[in-house]
């Protein structure tokens, strides 16, 4: 036997030698059950509308939404998050269509719950799909988002979503005090079992652009760029995120979320270390779009980059990941 020139007791490469050994020592594993599929729904019939800035993502009709949810169950996905795309003619400064009985969101929730009763439905509690200005809340006389009147509107929307059959409501607005107000409103209406996934640390990020395209929120020529820094978090802050999580936990949140995910892995890790609640992370539209764009240019391996990006989010401490890759990744994990 030839003796090595190095006298080493510990050779780390032994645990990397073969696929079988690597699988035995792998510390982080991604499962279909860890993934939540965000889906968009619009009113009307016919074919789904592609979202130009998000390859493979569409604005569903209720019929195609239900078929997609059946597929999610087949590949092992256990939850979906639903976002409505509302016609411009139904938007106004008050976002009053949010609570209208004909809101396509409520019809979609009922249809999915009937077709896929075992699939958890997470409903977005925010006014930006319904306001003509695109903000997540109601504006005061100065044109700024008014916190308390917005919370009152969010309470009504959360109750309506629970009545339609949502398992979890997810306030994404970043108004102060909305988690407690929604919890109390749900309980008073008899929805003690409806969970709250709080967007606890939602940053004023540049990565949201394609999502706003998907829901047609504030995308008109009169509003070229929405400034939400008055209520969403400063990307430079970490301690503030921990404070937000603590407040939402005290106010009755059942789960907390960090958004975006990939550029904020340090926030996910910090939040994981400061709460016992389940932690969600949202791999947002811009993260999804940039992977597609780089892969189409031949600069990145699409599947390898996609999978690594999700593994990194899970490794940082996320218990669950909202991602537009969910269905395809779950299918690949089952293959």
Residue carrying the six token digits 């967007």: 199
- HEC assignment per residue over the chain: CCCCCCCCCCCHHHHHCCHHHHHHHCCCCCCHHHEEEEEEEECCCCCCEECCCCCCCEEECHHHHHHHHHHHHHCCCCEEEEEEECCHHHCECCCHHHHCCCCHHHHHHHHHHHHCCCCEEEEEECCCCCECCCCCCCECCCCCECHHHHHHHHHHHHHHHHHHCCCEEEECCCCCCHHHHHHHHHHHCCCCCCEEEEEEEEECCHHHHHHHHHHCCCCCCCCCCCCCCCCCECCCCCHHHHHHHHHHHHCCCCEEEEECCHHHHHHHHHHHCCCCCCEEEECCHHHHHHHHHHHHCCCCCHHHHHHHHHHHHHHHCCCEEECCCHHHHHHHHHC
Q: Could you tell me if residue 179 is left (phi over 0), alpha (psi between -120 and 50 degrees) or otherwise beta?
A: alpha
Q: Is 202 designated active site?
A: yes
First to last CA, the chain: 42
The pTM score is: 0.95
Closest residue by Cα to residue 53 from 306, 292, 260, 218: 292
Domains, the chain, ranges and CATH?
31-257 (3.20.20.70)
Q: What was the pLDDT predicted at 222? A: 44
- Name the one residue in this structure whose structure tokens are 């999610």: 72
**pLDDT tens digits for range 87-114:** 999 999 999 999 999 999 999 999 999 9
225: preceding bond cis by omega (within 30 degrees): no
Catalytic residue among 202, 216, 228, 314: 202
Give the bridge partners for 84, in sequence order: 41
- Rounded-to-integer distance, Cα 273 and Cα 256, Å: 13
Catalytic residue among 90, 155, 259, 314: 259
Residue 314 among the catalytic residues: no
CA pair distance 102, 52, nearest whole angstrom: 27
Half-sphere exposure of 216 (CA within 13 A, CB side): 17
- pLDDT, tens only, 136-171: 999 999 999 999 999 999 999 999 999 999 999 999
Cα 260 from Cα 267, distance rounded (Å): 10
Are residues 279 and 319 in contact, defined by beta-carbon separation less than 8 angstroms? yes
As a whole number, the mean pLDDT across the chain is 95
Quick one: 17 exposed, middle or buried, by C-beta within 10 A (0-12, 13-18, 19+)? exposed
Residue 166 and residue 191 in contact, taking contact as beta carbons nearer than 8 Å: no
Segments in the chain below pLDDT 70: 1-4, 218-225
Q: Would you state the pLDDT for residue 2?
A: 57
- Cα–Cα distance for residue pair 161/168, rounded to 1 Å: 9
**What does R_g of the chain's alpha carbons equal in angstroms?**
21
């Amino acid at each position: 036997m030839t003796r090595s020139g190095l006298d080493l007791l510990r050779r780390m490469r032994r645990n990397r030698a073969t696929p079988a050994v690597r699988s035995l020592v792998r510390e982080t594993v991604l499962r279909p059950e860890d993934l939540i599929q965000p889906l968009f729904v619009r009113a009307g019939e016919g074919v789904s509308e592609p979202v130009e800035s998000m390859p493979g993502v569409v604005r569903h009709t209720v019929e195609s939404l239900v078929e997609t949810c059946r597929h999610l169950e087949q590949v092992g996905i256990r939850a979906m998050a639903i976002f409505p795309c509302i016609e411009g003619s139904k938007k106004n400064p008050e976002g009053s269509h949010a609570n209208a009985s004909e809101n396509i969101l409520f019809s979609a929730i009922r249809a999915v719950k009937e077709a896929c009763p075992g699939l958890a439905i997470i409903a977005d509690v925010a006014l930006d799909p319904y306001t003509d200005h695109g903000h997540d809340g109601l504006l005061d006389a100065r044109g700024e988002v008014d916190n308390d009147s917005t919370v009152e509107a969010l309470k009504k929307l959360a109750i309506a979503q629970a009545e339609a059959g949502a398992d979890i409501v997810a306030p994404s607005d970043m108004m102060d005090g909305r988690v407690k107000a929604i919890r109390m409103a749900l309980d008073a209406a008899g929805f003690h079992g409806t969970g709250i996934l709080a967007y606890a640390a939602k940053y004023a990020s540049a990565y949201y652009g394609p999502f706003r395209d998907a829901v047609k929120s504030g995308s008109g020529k009169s509003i070229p760029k929405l400034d939400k820094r008055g209520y969403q978090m400063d990307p430079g802050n970490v301690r503030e995120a921990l404070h937000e999580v603590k407040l939402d936990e005290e106010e009755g949140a059942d789960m907390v979320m960090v958004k975006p995910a990939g550029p904020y892995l340090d926030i996910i890790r910090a939040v994981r270390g400061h709460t016992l609640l389940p932690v969600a992370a949202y791999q947002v539209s811009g993260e999804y779009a940039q992977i597609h764009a780089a892969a189409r240019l031949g600069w990145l391996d699409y599947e390898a980059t996609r999978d690594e990006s999700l593994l990194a989010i899970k490794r940082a401490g996320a218990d669950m990941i909202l991602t537009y890759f969910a269905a395809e990744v779950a299918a690949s994990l089952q293959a």
